[in-house]
Structure 1
Amino acid sequence: MTVLVPGRPTQAEPGFGAFVRARARAGALVVQPRMGFGDPERMRAGLAATKAARGHTAGTLTLDSYTRVGDLAAVEHARREDLPLNGYPIVSHPDATTRAMLAGVRDAGFPVQVRHGSALPQHIFRKLIALGLDATEGGPVSYCLPYGRTPLAESIAAWRQCTEMFSRLRDQGAEPHLETFGGCMMGQLCPPSQLVALSVLEALFFRAYGCRSISVSYAQQTHAGQDTEAVFALRRLCAELLPDVDWHVVVYAYMGAYPVTETGAYRLLGEAAELAVRTGSERLIVKTVAESRRIPTVSENVAALEYAARAAVAARPVPAPDTDTQTYAEARALVEGVLNLHSDLARALLLAFERGCLDIPYCVHPDNRGRTRSRLDAEGRLCWAQTGALPLTRLVRTGRGREVTAAGLLADLSYLRSKYDREALYDHAPAEVPSADPA
């Protein structure tokens, strides 16, 4: 890898985005875990196992929850008392420790992305820059509203600062890459059109403040056909609005209540891989059979990566729709509604939530109006039940018969888990289930 020396321009290496795009041109889907361990030796072993997995893989350093919220005193206490952490405390480990952990593992053929979940990530970005790590993810909305009570204005200001700071890695010979988490907002029960719109808006935010290598995310939802429509809408909007950006699409395996049966879990993961290939997406974030119970082991992550890679090889792309779909029309209206509020995207996002032009169902953050609701229809499609002040009046019909009840909400939240576990119990042709030894 290029050694980054502050103030000394170097020959730029391709970077994370170029790595993914190169695999896509060769017809391969990049598969990636969400893996993080507090111990550097275990973290190195996890990255090495990911690199050695059968498939086209990228590595992940997922940070611990204390680092995410800036509680570094709690990290120090955990390390002093030898208490387990649920991720890698990159800010608290000496730089030499992290460099040694990555040495010989991270290289041009195996990039590593840092994942964190912080609304105020300045301390994390400063560490990434010091270490020469050039790929991370998040966003001013998607890493703020679901995770706590940090004021949205503070998150937007912090992410603007971090994007500008991160983009200056180009002066040191790197091509920094940011992935928007907007397409995974709340994990579930956010209608696909809003997931698409938020992903596009955060990508536009990153571009506005200097980033030129971006990935846009979409989380698998409850209906394969609707998901296909949504990813194609996302791709079309990016092509229209990000013509000067090197972008790709990353699909997330379902982020809601996961099946408890191994067969059900693998079937759902296989459908995520098929969704990615079907829509021309370039990267997939996998989930494992352990998701419904605990943090997965390294070997469970590897088993999921290899299963997804095999499912991807067997899948085939399909043509994009040649007319406007409902999801595209809704997403376009949401994006335009925000962009029309102010020429400064940071200000536009704030105004959008103040006025309800963006409003996330079931999100209790103080800066979210909370006047929208969603529900599943009889076919399992995720639909708007109430649109509040969203600019969707002419596109979405709501009214009597669409009320959301507590029982209905609970049923919707467990819909996919129940569906895939039920099929696993009664289907006589179960999905292939690979073995994974504990590690």
Structure 2
Amino acid sequence: MRAAHEAGRLVVQPRMGFSDPARMRRGLAATRNARATTVGTLTLDSYTRVGDTAAVDEALRLGTGINGYPIVNYSREQTREVLAGLHGPGFPVQVRHGSAKPFHIFEALVRAGLSATEGGPVSYCLPYGRTPLDQSVREWDRSSRLFSQLRESGVEPHLESFGGCMLGQLCPPSLLVAISALEALFFHRCGIRSISVSYAQQTHPEQDVEAVAALRALCARLLPDTVWHVVIYTYMGVYPTTDAGSYALLGEAARLAARTGSERIIVKTVAESRRIPTIEENVAALEYASDVAAAEAAVPALGAGAGDRQGGGPRPDSQTYTEAAALVDAVLNLHDDVGQALLLAFKRGYLDVPYCVHPDNMGRTRSFIDGTGRLRWATTGALPIGRVAEASGNRRVTSRELLDALTYIQRTFDDEAFRSPLPG
């Protein structure tokens, strides 16, 4: 990852996962052979995510489709056959899963010889079900400590926080930045020394640039003895339905990665709003994102220093940084153990995700998209940012406004698609 970044190349990655081993291997091979600097992905199925291995066995027996690679049910030898000749130092493969209770997944990926995965005790709990947060924290602590033991055999395990993608949309950037940084520190305290932090593209390009700079500044402070990098996620909410709109949105994400000096990007395809994409659609997205990022990186930054384009430090008065730092500091002041601090933070409302219905989320915060397209706090609940947040008092968000906000990106980019042709 570092070598690619130093060479000025953005690493591009799909969210690819197939239940059939032969198709999964073809997908990894196509990713590796794409005209881009890539890493591979094994995205697991939803049964494996919740630990329902019996349902996986039944689906495999009947030949019915499942929506990802069932790494726990397949033998170590089967997965190693999928990876043989592909996975290695020049082509890492990351396991993506979505599990709040992932110990069985960590055991399986370690057996298979894999050393990269992602998630987190908050980001893989609150959005995906009703698993109690304290159970998720315990499971992620146990799993991360198991994973860290790979270092004893000379393998450096890598963990990526999914915290910058909470609920995909309508979460103000400062909260995304804070949760991503806190989960990274959680991994660090469990013995992980190779970490990535995530940020999902939101509704306003300049606000996103500010957020990534804030994330970098916080990680530089919290993770001084850790190798870490930033991964940008293409928009995680309601996606454009047109091919041109989809490409335009992916292009904006690639430009964001280039402008902020981010090291890696997770792409989406033209099929995102309709179905699981094909291998060919994934490769097209990888190559397009790589080309756009390379073109953006080659353009001098008008009116900005090199540090701005390469992800330099944020302004001291950055709104996103001020809010995110206040959140992080308040949480860490609750308890010396980061896991316990996270639990206390949600119990007291110091962390509170807008529109999240998980029982352990207080649910007193709300957000809205202002007239410029920026995500802002409508009300901050008990968040410890009352003195610094750009909140609009107790602004009421109507159901109509919420629906409009949920479809804001889809409508914006599909409308633009009618005015612009598909990229050549």
Task: Report the TM-score, using the length of structure 2 for normalisation.
Answer: 0.96
1:113 aligns with 2:94: yes
Rounded Cα–Cα distance in structure 2 between residues aligned with 1:382 and 1:31: 26
Match of residue 58, structure 1, among 39, 48, 58? 39
* Alignment-derived partner of residue 31 in structure 1: 12
Rounded Cα–Cα distance in structure 1 between residues aligned with 2:155 and 2:5: 21
Deviation, structure 1 residue 324: 2.7
Aligned residue identity for 2:347 = E
* Alignment-derived partner of residue 401 in structure 2: 408
* Alignment-derived partner of residue 349 in structure 1: 342
Match of residue 356, structure 2, among 340, 363, 366? 363
* Alignment-derived partner of residue 187 in structure 2: 206
Aligned residue identity for 2:204 = H
CA contact 2:45–2:69 (8 Å) conserved in 1 = yes
1:378 aligns with 2:371: yes
* Alignment-derived partner of residue 240 in structure 1: 221
Deviation, structure 1 residue 399: 4.2
Rounded Cα–Cα distance in structure 1 between residues aligned with 2:389 and 2:219: 23
- Per mean C-alpha deviation after superposition, the further-off stretch among 308-317 and 77-86 is 308-317
1:418 aligns with 2:411: yes
Rounded Cα–Cα distance in structure 1 between residues aligned with 2:221 and 2:79: 40
Aligned residue identity for 1:267 = A
* Alignment-derived partner of residue 121 in structure 2: 140
* Alignment-derived partner of residue 163 in structure 1: 144
Q: 3-state SS of the aligned residue for 1:371?
A: coil
Deviation, structure 1 residue 119: 0.2
Aligned residue identity for 2:230 = V
* Alignment-derived partner of residue 208 in structure 2: 227
* Alignment-derived partner of residue 156 in structure 2: 175
Deviation, structure 1 residue 402: 2.7
Matches for 1:171-320 after TM superposition, within 5 Å: 171-316=152-297, 319=308, 320=312
Deviation, structure 1 residue 130: 1.2
Taking a change above 3 Å as real, the CA distance of residues 59 and 399 of structure 1, as seen in their structure-2 partners, is: closer
Rounded Cα–Cα distance in structure 1 between residues aligned with 2:352 and 2:175: 9
Q: 3-state SS of the aligned residue for 1:309?
A: helix
Q: 3-state SS of the aligned residue for 2:265?
A: strand
- Per mean C-alpha deviation after superposition, the further-off stretch among 98-107 and 53-62 is 98-107
Matches for 1:389-400 after TM superposition, within 5 Å: 389-399=382-392
Deviation, structure 1 residue 401: 7.9
1:432 aligns with 2:423: yes
1:82 aligns with 2:73: no
Q: Deviations over 1:119-147 (max 9, x none)?
A: 00010011111122100000000000000
Rounded Cα–Cα distance in structure 2 between residues aligned with 1:364 and 1:130: 36
Rounded Cα–Cα distance in structure 2 between residues aligned with 1:236 and 1:49: 36
Q: Deviations over 1:146-186 (max 9, x none)?
A: 00000000000000001111000011120000000000011
RMSD value over aligned CA atoms?
A: 1.1
Deviation, structure 1 residue 70: 0.1
CA contact 2:377–2:392 (8 Å) conserved in 1 = no
Q: 3-state SS of the aligned residue for 2:418?
A: helix
Rounded Cα–Cα distance in structure 1 between residues aligned with 2:161 and 2:241: 29
Match of residue 325, structure 1, among 298, 305, 318? 318
Rounded Cα–Cα distance in structure 1 between residues aligned with 2:372 and 2:354: 20
Q: 3-state SS of the aligned residue for 1:104?
A: coil
Rounded Cα–Cα distance in structure 2 between residues aligned with 1:306 and 1:76: 36
Aligned residue identity for 2:408 = Y
- Structure 2 portions without partners, runs of 5+: none
Deviation, structure 1 residue 108: 1.6
Task: Report the TM-score, using the length of structure 1 for normalisation.
Answer: 0.92
Deviation, structure 1 residue 279: 0.4
- Aligned residues with identical type, % of pairs: 65
Q: 3-state SS of the aligned residue for 1:383?
A: strand
1:335 aligns with 2:316: no
Deviation, structure 1 residue 323: 3.0
Rounded Cα–Cα distance in structure 1 between residues aligned with 2:96 and 2:391: 37
Rounded Cα–Cα distance in structure 2 between residues aligned with 1:63 and 1:33: 13
Aligned residue identity for 1:93 = Y
Rounded Cα–Cα distance in structure 1 between residues aligned with 2:113 and 2:194: 16
- Per mean C-alpha deviation after superposition, the further-off stretch among 214-223 and 322-331 is 322-331
Aligned residue identity for 1:333 = A
* Alignment-derived partner of residue 47 in structure 1: 28
CA contact 2:232–2:264 (8 Å) conserved in 1 = yes
Deviation, structure 1 residue 400: 5.7
Aligned residue identity for 1:419 = T
1:387 aligns with 2:380: yes
Stretches of 4+ aligned residues off by more than 2 angstroms: 320-324, 397-402
